[in-house]
């Protein structure tokens, strides 16, 4: 119904009778025009697919050049020596670091992001929620290198207090022990990544929560439910798949984040038992840190690790999108 009202608003500026007379006389020309235009637009659609395919093919080709000369095992070697003969490199440490830091980031960010999304849609006073949503959008626009700079020069010094406390009370677990020194560890990276992926998870969850049918909520309210019970009984079940896919989009971001990790982490090529001690590495960070000194072969080896990252993010993002799309068809939103 609102389409029809706006239609009358939007209609006046558009009809331009002038050119029509000409096109009517040259119908053949217009049909060629149509064909050219369709060709152009379909061509760019196909070009996008070609680019995606080309990314996979070229990365795989250069990666195969490197892996075939690798004298360690690409999957399990705990080293990255591409300049020695024979070269030995493997992605075990990188895979570990990437997974651990992303999991930490998800564990911290998802609950908070869902909380903020609920805050914006169901708790905040109306006057507040608009500006806050706006600020969160801006937060998403802050470049990752700035997060990195802030993380390395502000966050790291501030975390040593927390790390000392964790070590004091939970050091006996081994996972949370700390030997002192700068807090440039995988846990720090995870915290920073959590801050960085918070906006995207919040935004997507907020959209989903906003689509919850008003009737569901009112039905719950009419039964005497408190606000929390409304959220638990109608909002969260409706939004579950949306939150899952939002988290996976955030996970995709966290997995591929480069500069923030490269500035904050002090990398080593081994796996530390403690999350608090500096060391470890991630795929993207390793590429950025090693690139400047890499020979052409070294670059190929880095491309091989990039290919692994590409495949992982492809799977994560593809799965997230599939969940979102299924939801879309089901809910009839976004008509």
Restricted to residues 103-142, the positions that interact with another protein (CB under 8 A) are 111-112, 114-116, 118-119, 123-124, 132, 134-139, 141-142
Q: Return the SS3 of 258.
A: coil
When the beta carbons of 31 and 174 are compared against another protein, the nearer one is 31
- For 262, residues 6+ apart whose C-beta sits below 8 A from its C-beta are 148, 284, 285, 288, 289
Residues 6+ apart with CB under 8 A from 185: 265, 272, 274, 275, 276, 277, 278, 279, 280
Candidate list 158, 214, 293, 329; residue touching another protein; CB under 8 A: 158
- Would you say 75 or 145 has its CB closer to another protein? 145
Query: Is 180 one of the binding residues for another protein (CB under 8 A)?
Result: no
- Stretch in the footprint of another protein (CB under 8 A) among 12-20, 74-82, 172-180, 181-189: 12-20
146 binds another protein (CB under 8 A): yes
316 scored as a contact of another protein (CB under 8 A): yes
Which residues on adjacent β-strands are paired with residue 278? 185
Instruction: Select from 40, 75, 107, 333 the one that contacts another protein (CB under 8 A).
Output: 40
Binding residues for another protein, total number by CB under 8 A: 114
Of 103, 162, 219, 233, which lies in the binding site for another protein, with binding defined by CB under 8 A? 162
Min. distance of Cβ 24 from another protein in angstroms?
A: 5
Binding to another protein in span 200-259, by CB under 8 A: 202, 224, 226-229, 231, 249, 252-253, 255-259
Q: State how beta strands 80-81 and 88-89 pair.
A: antiparallel
d(CA 205, CA 118): 8
Nearest to 82 by CA among 300, 264, 279: 300
Q: Which region among 69-77, 174-182, 203-211, 307-315 touches another protein (by CB under 8 A)?
A: 307-315
Separation CA 154–CA 150 (nearest Å):
5
How far are the Cα atoms of 66, 72, 76, 307 from residue 83, in angstroms, in the given order? 12, 13, 19, 20
């Amino acid at each position: 119904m609102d389409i029809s009202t706006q239609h009358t608003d939007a209609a006046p500026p558009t009809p331009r009778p002038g050119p029509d007379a000409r096109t009517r006389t040259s119908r053949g020309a217009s049909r060629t025009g149509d064909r050219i235009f369709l060709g152009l637009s379909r061509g760019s659609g196909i070009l996008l697919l070609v680019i995606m395919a080309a990314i996979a093919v070229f990365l795989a080709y250069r990666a195969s050049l490197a892996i075939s000369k690798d004298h360690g095992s690409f999957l399990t070697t705990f080293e990255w020596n591409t300049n020695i003969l024979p070269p030995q490199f493997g992605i075990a440490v990188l895979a570990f670091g990437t997974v651990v830091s992303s999991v930490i980031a998800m564990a911290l960010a998802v609950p908070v992001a869902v909380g903020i999304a609920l805050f914006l849609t169901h708790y905040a006073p109306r006057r507040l929620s608009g500006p806050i949503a706006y600020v969160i959008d801006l937060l998403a626009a802050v470049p990752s290198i700035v997060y990195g700079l802030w993380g390395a020069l502000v966050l790291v010094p501030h975390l040593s207090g927390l790390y000392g406390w964790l070590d004091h009370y939970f050091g006996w677990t081994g996972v949370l022990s700390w030997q002192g020194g700068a807090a440039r560890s995988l846990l720090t990276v995870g915290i920073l990544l959590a801050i960085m992926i918070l906006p995207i998870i919040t935004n997507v969850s907020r959209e989903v929560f906003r689509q919850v049918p008003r009737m569901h909520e009112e039905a719950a309210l009419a039964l005497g439910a408190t606000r929390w019970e409304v959220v638990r009984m109608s909002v969260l079940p409706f939004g579950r798949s949306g939150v899952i896919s939002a988290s996976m989009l955030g996970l995709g971001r966290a997995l591929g984040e480069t500069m923030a990790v490269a500035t904050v982490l002090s990398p080593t090529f081994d796996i530390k038992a403690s999350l608090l001690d500096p060391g470890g590495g991630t795929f993207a960070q390793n590429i950025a840190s090693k690139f400047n000194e890499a020979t052409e072969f070294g670059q190929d080896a880095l491309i091989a690790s990039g290919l692994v990252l590409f495949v992982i993010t492809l799977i994560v993002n593809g799965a997230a999108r599939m969940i979102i799309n299924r939801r879309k068809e089901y809910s009839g939103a976004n008509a």
